[in-house]
Amino acid sequence: MNKNRTARLETRLRPEDKQLIETAAAMEGLSLSDFVLVAVKHHAEDVLARHQHIQLSEMVSRQFTEMLLDQTARSPQALRDAMRRHDEMIESD
């Protein structure tokens, strides 16, 4: 781990939770700080990834694709209308 870390993060926890984390860190051959940092960073990356990607249901995805491929969607206005309908569908889910 990078030894040039200067920012601090503190937390209060129950003694049994600390013991659990210390035991797991020891099993991984990591210091308590490194173990917590790895775990928290991994969870933070997962949270950010979930919030940065749009996930459509199969039905909504199919409808969106059909709107885009529809012959009437060839004009810029029709495409804007299709995008508006898509946004409305997503908001109502």
pLDDT tens across 19-46, in order? 999 999 999 999 999 999 999 999 999 9
> How big is the chain by its Cα radius of gyration, in Å?
24
Structure tokens at 60: 């909504």
Model confidence at 72, in pLDDT bands (50, 70, 90)? low
How far lies 47's CA from each of 40, 42, 43, 44, in Å?
11, 9, 6, 5
Determine the residue type at 26: A
Rounded CA separation 78/70 (Å): 10
